[in-house]
Structure 1
Amino acid sequence: MLLTGLICGALLGFVMQRGRFCLTGGFRDMYIAKDNRMFYALLIAIAVQSIGVYALIQLGMIKYAAGTFPWVAAIIGSYIFGIGIVMAGGCATGTWYRAGEGLLGSWIALFGYMVMSAVMKSGVLLPVTTSLQSVQLPKNAIADTLGINIWIIIAVFSLIVLTILIREMRKPKVAVPAMKAKRKGLAHLLFEKRWHPFFTAVLIGLIAILAWPLSEATGRMDGLGITTPTANLLQFLVTGNQTFVNWGVFLVLGIFLGSFIAAKASREFRFRMPDAKTGIRSFLGGILMGFGASVAGGCSIGNGLVKTAMMTWQGWFALLFMIFGAWTASYFMFVRPQTKRQKTAAKTAVTTA
């Protein structure tokens, strides 16, 4: 049954690689380019998963308890995680799938993320994680706090997402030069044709639904998750303790495998070595990702996709502060340097005039 994690992860890695589903770029583009399409794609994936998972709960096929809301940890951890993903050039899942493409900078970021996650979850910094997560509010489920049926929240959210989707699809399409097809039929659709982010989001939402019953069948009562499985993988490699190997570990390995298959089949796989500055920044970004995700109790998938779909305060607060963190890093890494260059160029032009 653990191998279903590998299959589920491979599907996720394949879809994310072919759809170029990158939340780091999406959060950054919201601020720099005023382009919200990837964020809207995330909302679609959340809506699809929410409907599907709560339908499974209604049918008694899976169980879920929102628990308490560690609000301090969610805010602090997610903000730091948001800074880290911009420095690393990819979020937790993005780092795994881009490593499968041969991007060595993502390997460096993944190593930092893996080490810090393990240190925060079972190493010397575990007391920091425990202390921050100890500050809690009694109710995490939004429906319980508001005293209404969960399906009302899901219906309202889905209606908002549907409205956004219709509005976006009605916008005039920007002409994009079409790549000459070298393959025919299904091979062209899978490995050459550009995938629309909204179509990719629907597939990710469906995979996220599938993850719940597959994971719970092995005794892991959760959906998609990246940080804890990543830490568990390192702990297994170091200690040899097989108790660390569960459905989630196979999931992250599957993401790498699925991305590798997609990249090779689409001729996008190649080893790319970053320069020293980029490599150091990627490693530091991975460290911040591991710290932030461990403290927050989830990454861009665990909190930003899964716990949001479960309509919890933790998920939505984490997503919000994740975005704020990404914007902060984007300002200092991209906006501020660009502004300085423009001012310098303007002064030079005035001086030479």
Structure 2
Amino acid sequence: MLFSGLILGVVLGFIFQRGRFCVTGAFRDVWLSGSTRWLTAFFIAIAIQAVLVNAMIAGGLINPGIPTLALGAVVGGSFLFGIGIVLAGGCATGTYYRSGEGLIGSWVALAFYAFTASAMKYGIGADVTASQRNETQDATTIQDTLGISVWVLVVGFALIVASLLVRQARRISAPLATLPAQKAGIAHLLFEKKWTPNVTAILLGLLAALAYPLSQATGRNAGLGITTPSANIVQFFTTGDTSYIDWGVLFVLGLIPGSYIAAKASREFRLRAPDAETTTRAIAGGTLMGVGASIAGGCTIGNALVQTALFSWQGWIALLFTFLGVGAGVRLFVTSRRRPGAAPVEIPSLTVGS
């Protein structure tokens, strides 16, 4: 069952690449253009996962761990992570799938992200991380704090997402007569046809829910995660301790080959070397990602996708402050350089929503 993580990683790496799924772009688009197209898609993935995961919990099939809220750590760490993903040109998943496409700048960001996360969890920064994570409040989930059923939150959130979809459909609707003829065939659908954000989000939500029983079957009581598995890969290579190799590690190891397969088959793979400025940004961004995600207890997957579906305080607060961090990063490193006379800004990894 351990290799189910690798298989799921390959599949999700394929989906991330073909769907151009990166939370950085979803958040960035809101700040730059007011577009909520990809943010709505991200909420679809959370809603689908919330329904399925909480149904599995109610049926006694899974029992995921939910962290006690460390408010200062989540706020500060998530904000730093948000700034970092703007500099790096992609969130955790975006950095992995862009690495599989041949973007060498993403290789640099990914290396510093994994190395820094390892240092913050197990090495020189472990005491700092522990001191921040140990400053907890008496809160885990929103439903427990409010004294209500989780299904009130699940149904309420699903209705909000449904209303966003109705609004989106009204805004982009067009007469059927204007639609071009579509090709047919599995190869066209997989490798040629442009995937829509909502289709990508549906697949992500379904597979994120599937991760729970697959992971739990191996003794890992959690869903999808990127930061800790990335840190564990570094720990394995530096210590040789095979105990670090678990379902989560095999999952993240599958993301790059899955992305490579998708990019190669769709003729989008190309080795691209960054210039000096992009490399510097990748180093700084990857470092902030590792520091921020370690202190916050997760990234845009572990917190903003997985913990939100459980309606944990950590998940929703992390999502909010990552979003604000992206806003700060956009203001500092993107819009501030768009003043009259300033050089044009290009962040090549941010392709979602563009």
Q: Write the mapping of 1:135-174 to structure 2, written as runs, cut at 5 A.
A: 135-173=135-173
Could you tell me which residue of structure 2 aligns to residue 102 of structure 1? 102
Provide the rounded CA distance (Å) in 2 between the counterparts of 1:323 and 1:174. Answer: 31
Distance 2:239 2:40 in 1: 42
8 A Cα contact 1:11 1:207, kept in partner: no
Instruction: Give yes or no for the alignment of 1:326 onto 2:326.
Output: yes
Distance 1:253 1:179, change over 3 A: farther
Give the conservation status (yes or no) of the 8 Å contact 2:84–2:289. yes
Partner of 1:114: 114
Residue 193 (1) aligns with residue 187 (2): no
* Runs of 4+ residues deviating >4 angstroms: 177-181
CA separation in 1, counterparts of 2:95 and 2:252?
11
Q: Name the CA distance, whole Å, in 2 between partners of 1:94 and 1:236.
A: 23
Secondary structure, aligned partner of 2:268:
coil
Partners of 2:184 and 2:52 in 1: CA distance:
33
Distance in 1 of aligned mates of 2:28 and 2:152: 32
User: Does structure 1 conserve the Cα–Cα contact (< 8 Å) formed by 2:105 and 2:273?
Assistant: yes
Would the aligned equivalents of 1:81 and 1:289 in 2 still touch at CA under 8 Å?
yes
The equivalent of 1:85 in structure 2 is 85
Distance of aligned partners of 1:83 and 1:201 in 2 relative to their CA distance in 1, 3 Å threshold? same
Task: Tell me which moved more, 292-301 or 57-66.
Answer: 57-66
Q: Give yes or no for contact 2:65–2:222 (8 Å, CA) kept in 1.
A: no
Counterpart of 2:23? 23
Q: Give, in whole Å, the separation in 2 of the partners of 1:97 and 1:342.
A: 31
Q: Which runs of 5+ in 1 are unaligned?
A: 344-353
Kept after mapping to 2: 8 A contact 1:5/1:247: yes
Mapped to 2, the partners of 1:77 and 1:200 lie a distance apart of 28
Partner SS state of residue 323, structure 1:
helix
1:283 is displaced (CA, Å) by 1.0
Name the count of aligned residue pairs: 341
Q: Which deviates further from its counterpart, 219-228 or 130-139? A: 130-139
Shift of 1:66: 2.2
State the 1:26 CA deviation: 1.3
1:19 partner letter:
G
After superposition, the C-alpha distances for 1:231-254 in whole angstroms (9 at most, x for unaligned) are 000111111110110000000011
Equivalent in the alignment of 2:41: 41
Q: Which amino acid aligns with 1:295?
A: I
Q: Distance in 2 between matches of 1:342 and 1:174?
A: 38
Counterpart residue number, 2:243: 243
Aligned residues of 2:65 and 2:221 also touching (Cα < 8 A): no
Q: 1:79 to 1:178 in 2, by over 3 A?
A: farther
Which has the higher mean CA deviation after the structures are superposed, 31-40 or 61-70?
61-70
Structure 2 distance, partners of 1:163, 1:221, is: 33
Deviates more, 1:74-83 or 1:34-43: 34-43
* TM score, norm. by length of structure 1: 0.93
Are the aligned partners of 1:88 and 1:284 in contact in 2 as well (CA < 8 Å)? yes
Q: Which residue does the alignment assign to 1:126?
A: 126
- Whole-Å separation in 1 of the counterparts to 2:342 and 2:103: 31
Counterpart of 1:199, as a letter, is V
Q: 1:223 maps to which residue?
A: 223
Shift of 1:67: 3.8
Q: 2: distance between equivalents of 1:178 and 1:155?
A: 34
Superimposed CA distance per residue, residues 95-122 of structure 1 (whole angstroms, 9 cap, x where no aligned partner): 1111011110000000110110000000
> How many percent of aligned residue pairs carry the same amino acid?
50
Between the aligned partners of 1:342 and 1:270, the Cα distance in structure 2 is 30
- 1:351 equivalent in structure 2: none
Residue 108 to residue 155, structure 1, CA distance change in 2 (3 Å): same
Between the aligned partners of 2:329 and 2:11, the Cα distance in structure 1 is 31
Relative distance call for 1:174 and 1:97 in structure 2 (3 A) is farther
Moved more, 166-175 or 222-231: 166-175
Larger Rg: 1
- Residue 173 of structure 1 deviates from its aligned partner by 4.8
How far, CA to CA, are the matches of 1:173 and 1:113 in structure 2?
Answer: 41
Alignment of 1:38-77 (within 5 A): 38-77=38-77
Q: Secondary structure at the match of 2:166?
A: helix
Equivalence for 1:311: 311
Q: Deviations over 1:6-61 (max 9, x none)?
A: 01111111111101111111111100111111111110000000000011111111
Cα 1:179/1:107, change in 2 over 3 Å? farther
Q: 2: distance between equivalents of 1:178 and 1:12?
A: 30
1:213 partner amino acid: P
Rounded to whole Å, the distance in 2 between the matches of 1:65 and 1:105 is 35
The alpha-carbon distance between structure 1 residues 277 and 178, as it changes in their structure 2 partners (threshold 3 A), is farther
Aligned residue for 1:278? 278
The yes-or-no answer on 1:295 pairing with 2:295 is yes
SS of the residue corresponding to residue 195 of structure 1 reads coil
Cα deviation, 1:174-193, whole Å, max 9, x if unaligned, reads 89x99998x85010011010
